[in-house]
DNA sequence: CTGAAAGCGCTTACAG
DNA sequence: CTGAAAGCGCTTACAG
């Protein structure tokens, strides 16, 4: 049967001091007017050791201290069966930094997913509050819940840029805009004048950032008039007929959002047409490099700094927790790494007439 | 500036009832002697809505006794960069079951690894105690720490069988013995009489269980005299010369422990010799099926039920936590799944002379 | 059917 | 330098 855990009072009794003293020593408080004698401190620490005492984080947290618990909340299952690659690299970074900072990680697994996604507020409870602050991840996030979190002044950092109408929120994001701009600029420099932007149906912040990069690249060269509107399309739209049509109307280069499952259909359709990059068209993927399985040749793309984002999110969160009176907002953007490929070359029939 | 979030007392005041009543209603308590009038309940719920009241889970858990935190402790980093496949499936199962049971997961990332592995007891303090109980994983576990954990009566379940000299400990393990016995029996039934057991250098419980299965298969057929002692060898021992020698002394079948990095050298050496299973020898791997990358053909093996082990570990742990007065020991073994291959066939030159 | 009171285990002013 | 006291926000017997 289970022994009751030792309490602070037990330690206090054993050491012959008051609970307050134990608390002060354990929290290493160095306030000007709190000073503990070396002898007392030693006695208390000895008692702590002897009893195997560990502060109850729940009580500590209630009493207004902090509990060294960093929440990790994902809107999808944390360890998804399918896309195991999605969260993993973030978690690697998060764990590394948590270890450095001496925080434990609290995964909110008690939060049942309802119709496929999890909600922070269940009934009336913000479960996240058991942790000092939390790192949020996930694409299926509910803006409504974020808004409420901000209103509740709960400290959190989103991994990935998220925006709310009136309310700025803290995040660590990948710099999709710059990465995309660089690639599109490369295409423009090659002489492409009709670069079509193919995006997935659901538009979110990271998609918008990519599109911004696309626009910026054109604008910087004074080529704004060449910009085509982005096409947000379902994967099933990408057929040989569709791409044929695009090529015929003078499109010489494509940039594809990753993650929207546009990529496999694209290659399939192009193969059906007997078209190949960079001979027949130029191509870049706006996201992580493709595996050999998906692409027949190295496609120009960029790497999202997932681990670094995880690490940085923990750093920012711990900063937030240590300075509770400063504005609770941090927004940071980390650079993506250009990933070379063989898919960008001058267009076969240059329409250049600048 | 934001208002302080509403408390239970605010709701009580607004509804004109006592905090206790609010608590009872919000927790939906149906105890025999607690009954709330429909009108009162409606009034309270309306007040909750109006104020946007959210129960503070920290206070709730302090008052209630339990914190619904399940610890997850790994002796190596939880999200290792290298062998990401090792912990992941366990964690999937653990998360699934934690969600079912309404527990959150506490990852002890604050525990720094010293010379590559983590220690539960740091300066005589058991960090794990911040959680109600914990699930332990990892091959590098220190027996000394486990012993202490048991002595402290801390509730935990090890994923994987672990044994301590005098102290039984709780675990969920894979049934390596049965899985191995089945495979070896298949080889014996095929007519093999010299089956060599090749094991990694470090012997642990899971290795011993496999060897036990190897022995059992022989014994069940009354063939104990055919048993060769297991060879515990380093990967570098597996050279073409070594295997040549084995074949020459009449060995017709090999069973290899997985995880000891014996497998790659084995295939390399056999390829060098120009030998191929099952024509020249029979073969099984005592562990997870090999990827195409490692093995040129499907090798008989078995799948370790990692997810199920994770799930079961959480179940057993929550049982332990709910029945604190029953014996704190659970040992359970889950079956592995036979994974077929093409590597077992009758020996080319049968020495059978039974 | 509902309220007053005690208590969960800690921290933090405030005295001295 | 250390202790007594109040309080964090809830739940749970216990009264009535």
Which of the two residues, B282 and A61, has the higher pLDDT score? B282
Average pLDDT over residues B274-291: 92
Average pLDDT over residues A83-108: 86
* Nucleotides on chain C within 7 angstroms of protein Cβ: 1-5, 7-16
Residue A17: is its pLDDT beyond 80? Answer: yes
Determine the residue of chain A that is closest to B5 in CA distance.
Answer: A152
Residue A320: is its pLDDT beyond 90? Answer: no
Indicate the residue of A59, A99, A152 with minimum beta-carbon distance to B5. A152
Decide: helix, strand or coil at residue A147.
helix
Residue B183: count of CB within 10 angstroms of its CB: 28
Average pLDDT over residues A195-220: 91
How would you label B89-108 residue by residue, b for 16+ Cβ within 10 Å and e otherwise?
bbbbbbbbbbbebebbbbbb
Q: Which nucleotide is nearest to A65 (CA to C1')?
A: C11
The separation, in Å, between residue B74 CA and nucleotide C10 C1' comes to 28
Confidence of residue B227 (pLDDT cuts 50, 70, 90): confident
- Closest Cα to residue B252, out of B225, B279, B233, B234? B279
Residue B238: count of CB within 10 angstroms of its CB: 24
Average pLDDT over residues B42-50: 87
Confidence of residue B116 (pLDDT cuts 50, 70, 90): low
Listed range (A199-213, A217-231, B202-216) with the worst mean pLDDT: A217-231
Indicate the residue of A96, A106, A151 with minimum beta-carbon distance to B106. A106
Residue B257: is its pLDDT beyond 60? Answer: yes
The separation, in Å, between residue B138 CA and nucleotide C11 C1' comes to 36
How many CB pairs lie under 8 A apart between chains A and B? 143
Average pLDDT over residues A160-189: 94
**Three-state SS across B222-290?**
CCHHHCCCCEECCHHHCCHHHHHHHHHCCCCEEEEECCCCCHHHHHHHHHHHCCCCCCCCEEEEECCCC
Residue B160: which residues within 8 A CB-CB, separation 6 or more?
A: B137, B139, B171, B172, B173, B174, B205, B206, B309
Listed range (A79-83, A112-116, A167-171) with the worst mean pLDDT: A79-83
| pLDDT tens per residue, range B143-201 | 888 888 888 778 899 999 998 888 889 999 999 999 999 999 999 999 999 999 999 88
DSSP string, A227-249: PPPPEE--GGG--HHHHHHHHHT
Q: Is the dihedral of CA B212, B216, B219, B224 positive or negative?
A: negative
Determine the residue of chain A that is closest to B102 in CA distance.
Answer: A110
Work out the percent of chain A whose per-residue pLDDT is above 90: 41
Residue B353: is its pLDDT beyond 60? Answer: no
d(CA B159, CA B151): 19
| pLDDT tens per residue, range B290-336 | 887 788 889 999 999 999 999 999 999 998 887 766 667 899 999 99
- Closest Cα to residue A137, out of A168, A114, A160? A160
d(CA B342, CA B186): 13
Indicate the residue of B26, B58, B155 with minimum beta-carbon distance to A124. B26
Listed range (A142-156, A173-187, A270-284, B241-255) with the worst mean pLDDT: A142-156
Which of the two residues, A29 and A320, has the higher pLDDT score? A320
Determine the residue of chain B that is closest to A110 in CA distance.
Answer: B102
Tell me, what's the pLDDT at B300? 96
Chosen from A60, A110, A306 to mutate, greatest number of chain B CBs within 10 A: A110
Which of the two residues, A33 and A239, has the higher pLDDT score? A239
Work out the percent of chain A whose per-residue pLDDT is above 70: 88
Residues of B in contact with A79 (CB under 8 A): 88, 91-92, 95
Which of the two residues, B96 and B296, has the higher pLDDT score? B96
Q: Which nucleotide is nearest to A12 (CA to C1')?
A: D3
Tell me, what's the pLDDT at A2? 46
Tell me, what's the pLDDT at A152? 79
Provide the 8-state DSSP code for B195.
Answer: E
Residue B284 near residue B300, CB atoms below 8 Å: yes
Tell me, what's the pLDDT at A259? 73
Residue B58: count of CB within 10 angstroms of its CB: 20
Residue B262: is its pLDDT beyond 90? Answer: no
Average pLDDT over residues A237-248: 92
Distance from CA of B102 to the nearest CA of A (A): 4
Tell me, what's the pLDDT at B341? 94
Q: Do B57 and A112 touch (CB under 8 A)?
A: no
Confidence of residue B100 (pLDDT cuts 50, 70, 90): confident
Average pLDDT over residues A101-112: 85
The separation, in Å, between residue A22 CA and nucleotide C11 C1' comes to 11
Chosen from B51, B107, B137, B307 to mutate, greatest number of chain A CBs within 10 A: B107
Full-model pTM: 0.85
């Amino acid at each position: 049967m289970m022994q009751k855990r030792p309490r602070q009072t037990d330690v206090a009794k054993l050491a012959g001091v008051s609970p307050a003293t134990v608390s002060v020593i354990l929290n290493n408080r160095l306030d000007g007017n709190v000073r503990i004698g070396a002898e007392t401190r030693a006695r208390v620490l000895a008692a702590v050791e002897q009893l195997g005492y560990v502060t109850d984080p729940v009580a500590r947290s209630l009493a207004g201290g902090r509990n060294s618990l960093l929440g990790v909340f994902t809107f999808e299952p944390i360890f998804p069966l399918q896309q195991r690659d999605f969260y993993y690299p973030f978690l690697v970074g998060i764990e590394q930094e948590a270890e450095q900072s001496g925080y434990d990680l609290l995964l909110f697994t008690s939060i049942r997913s309802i119709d496929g996604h999890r909600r922070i507020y269940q009934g009336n409870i913000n479960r996240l509050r058991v942790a000092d602050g939390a790192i949020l991840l996930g694409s299926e996030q509910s803006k409504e819940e974020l808004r409420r979190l901000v209103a509740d002044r709960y400290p959190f950092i989103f991994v990935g840029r998220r925006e709310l109408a009136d309310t700025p929120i803290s995040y660590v994001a990948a710099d999709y805009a710059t990465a995309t701009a660089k690639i599109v600029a490369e295409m423009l420099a090659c002489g492409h004048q009709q670069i079509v932007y193919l995006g997935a149906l659901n538009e979110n912040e990271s998609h918008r950032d990519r599109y911004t990069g696309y626009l910026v690249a054109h604008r910087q060269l004074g080529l704004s008039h060449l910009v085509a509107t982005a096409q947000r399309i379902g994967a099933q739209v990408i057929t040989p007929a569709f791409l044929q049509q695009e090529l015929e109307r003078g499109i010489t280069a494509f940039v594809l959002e990753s993650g929207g499952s546009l990529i496999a259909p694209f290659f399939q359709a192009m193969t059906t047409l007997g078209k190949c990059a960079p001979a027949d068209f130029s191509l870049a993927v706006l996201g992580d490099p493709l595996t050999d399985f998906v692409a027949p040749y190295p496609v120009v793309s960029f790497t999202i700094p997932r681990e670094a984002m995880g690490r940085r999110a923990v750093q920012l969160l711990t900063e937030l927790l240590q300075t509770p009176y400063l504005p609770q907002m941090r927004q940071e953007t980390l650079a993506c790494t250009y990933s070379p490929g063989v898919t960008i070359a001058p267009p076969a029939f240059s329409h250049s007439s600048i």
